[in-house]
Structures are given as structure tokens and as C-alpha cells.
């Protein structure tokens, strides 16, 4: 029996709704083996983030290298990185790997609004994107990145998430070389307990692609998984609480 080996490079969320915790939960439930490289430790709950401790870039890369050399890797999900040094170190490491799916969720802020990366870190994202298969920004992140990168110049495919849009029906758009190649739509699920949607979506896509699905199928299945997670949220926390774990 073989199992897809999925590496999550992301921050730790003490509230368990997003970050490494959401990635491990998603990867494991979808049948993959979750490996991790922690980039930051956040002190947070459903109400907000009160402190962040960045992990040294050398330690981040040491974690990545330790699991890749021993277990191997079938897909990588990258989430919150935080510092410019870590962004550039990760970019340098992954460009040397054999081709494999690399999904980058360019996390810039928590659901509560707290900033999770500074301007220098965001400026370095473009270097990392050179080796990425799919970028998964929300509308706000895409708008911020597009201030310095034109839609035609993104070096990877881009899934623009619609959760920050207005209206009853939301759309996710897959864009390649500035042109939309696929669109998914769904009715908004009204809940405050939506912390970790981006982390869950990107780690699900990485898992499905690591298991052999093509990008279109992986995105479609991951969207359904996130929607099911929102619908079974456990209703805990005073603010943006965690999503649930759906039966699949």
C-alpha cells in the first residue's frame, strides 16, 4: 500500500482552526500522510492574534529537508511564511526538487484581520511563485499582489477565491496567463465559523494532486470538501470559529 506524502510549510494556529493544524486534519482525512515544517508560532483564538514568533529560516529549511530526504514528497502546500528570509530560503529549496505539485496559499492576514506577514515578505512572494504550480489568493490578497504583478505576468496558475466577494453566489476563478480557464460557483454558506477555509482548500488541493488528480478535478473536489466543512462547523468560539470535519 502506498500513501501520498504531503508536506505543509505553514504557521501554527493555537486555536486549531487554520495553519498547520488545519492542514494536518485535512491531509489525514483525505488519505494522505501529513508532514510539516512550522514557519511561525501564533498565539490566537477565534477573536484574534495576540502574538507571533517567527521561526528562523534555517530551522524551517531543516524541517523541510529532514522529511523530504527520508520520506520523500508527492506534493507541497505552502501557507503562512511570515519573513522574507524564510520565503527566499523556501524558494531556493523547492526550485531544486523534481517537478511535483506545489500549492501556495499567500496568507497575509488572519480571519480576524491581524497581519501575518510584512511588506518585505510579500515582496519576496514573486520569487517563490516561480516554482509554484498553483497560487490560491483570496480577492484581497490577489488585489495586493497585482499591485506589483500584472495578471498576464503571474508565473503560475492562479485560483482566485471568492469568499470575500459580495452577493449570494460566489465564484472561484482559475486563471492562466491572465485568462480565465475555469470557473466554479456556489451559494454563500452563511456562518461566522469559517476560520481556516484557505488553509483547508489549499491543503486539500495538494493532497488530491499528490494522489494523482489533475488540477481541475483537485480544485473541484477540494471546494466541495471546504463547503462540507463549513456546513458542519461545531459552533465554538466567540469570533471566527473553526470549521468542522465532514464525513467523506
pLDDT in tens, 207-224: 999 999 999 999 999 999
CA distances from 116 to 60, 165, 216, 224 (A): 17, 21, 29, 27
pLDDT of residue 118: 74
Provide the pLDDT for residue 122: 82
Percent of the chain with pLDDT over 70: 98
**93-102 pLDDT, tens digit each:** 999 999 999 9
Record the cell numbers describing residue 177, joined without a space: 496567463
pTM: 0.95
Task: Say if residue 103's pLDDT is above 70.
Answer: yes
Helix axes 57-71, 84-94, angle to 10 degrees: 30
Phi (first) and psi of residue 53, to 5 degrees: -120, 110
Among the listed ranges 98-102, 107-111, 236-240, which one has the minimum average pLDDT value? Answer: 107-111
Helix-then-strand count for the chain, H and E:
8, 9
pLDDT confidence of residue 112 = 60
Name the pLDDT band for 117 (thresholds 50, 70, 90). confident
Pairing type for strands 179-187 and 169-176 reads: antiparallel
Say what the pLDDT of residue 167 is.
79
pLDDT in tens, 35-80: 999 999 999 999 989 999 999 999 999 999 999 999 999 999 999 9
Residue predicted with more confidence, 243 or 149: 243
Angle at 101 between CA 59 and CA 131, to 5 degrees: 65
d(CA 89, CA 191): 37
Q: With bands split at pLDDT 50, 70 and 90, how would you rate the model's confidence at 111?
A: low
The neighbouring-strand residues paired with 195 are 242
Q: Cα separation of 94 and 62, whole Å?
A: 13
Classify residue 199 by its DSSP letter.
Answer: H
Amino acid at each position: 500500500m502506498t500513501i501520498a506524502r504531503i508536506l505543509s510549510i505553514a504557521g501554527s494556529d493555537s486555536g486549531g482552526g487554520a495553519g498547520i493544524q488545519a492542514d494536518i486534519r485535512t491531509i489525514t482525512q483525505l488519505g494522505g500522510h501529513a508532514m510539516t515544517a512550522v514557519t511561525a508560532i501564533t498565539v490566537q483564538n477565534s477573536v484574534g492574534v495576540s502574538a507571533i514568533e517567527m521561526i528562523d529560516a534555517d530551522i524551517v529549511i531543516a524541517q523541510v529537508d529532514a522529511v523530504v530526504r527520508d520520506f520523500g514528497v508527492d506534493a507541497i502546500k505552502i501557507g503562512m511564511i511570515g519573513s522574507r528570509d524564510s520565503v527566499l530560503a523556501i524558494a531556493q529549496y523547492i526550485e531544486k526538487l523534481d517537478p511535483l505539485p506545489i500549492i501556495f496559499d499567500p496568507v497575509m492576514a488572519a480571519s480576524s484581520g491581524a497581519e501575518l506577514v510584512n511588506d518585505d515578505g510579500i515582496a519576496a512572494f514573486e520569487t517563490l511563485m516561480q516554482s509554484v504550480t498553483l497560487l490560491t489568493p483570496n480577492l484581497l490578497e490577489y488585489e495586493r499582489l497585482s499591485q506589483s504583478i500584472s495578471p498576464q505576468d503571474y508565473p503560475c496558475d492562479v485560483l482566485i477565491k471568492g469568499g470575500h466577494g459580495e452577493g449570494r453566489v460566489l465564484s472561484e476563478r482559475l486563471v492562466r496567463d491572465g485568462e480565465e480557464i475555469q470557473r466554479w460557483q456556489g451559494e454563500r454558506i452563511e456562518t461566522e465559523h469559517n476560520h481556516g477555509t484557505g488553509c483547508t482548500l489549499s491543503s486539500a488541493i495538494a493532497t488530491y494532486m499528490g494522489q494523482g488528480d489533475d488540477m481541475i478535478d483537485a480544485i473541484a473536489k477540494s471546494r466541495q470538501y471546504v463547503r462540507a466543512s463549513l456546513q458542519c462547523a461545531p459552533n465554538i468560539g466567540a469570533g471566527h470559529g473553526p470549521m468542522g470535519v465532514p464525513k467523506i
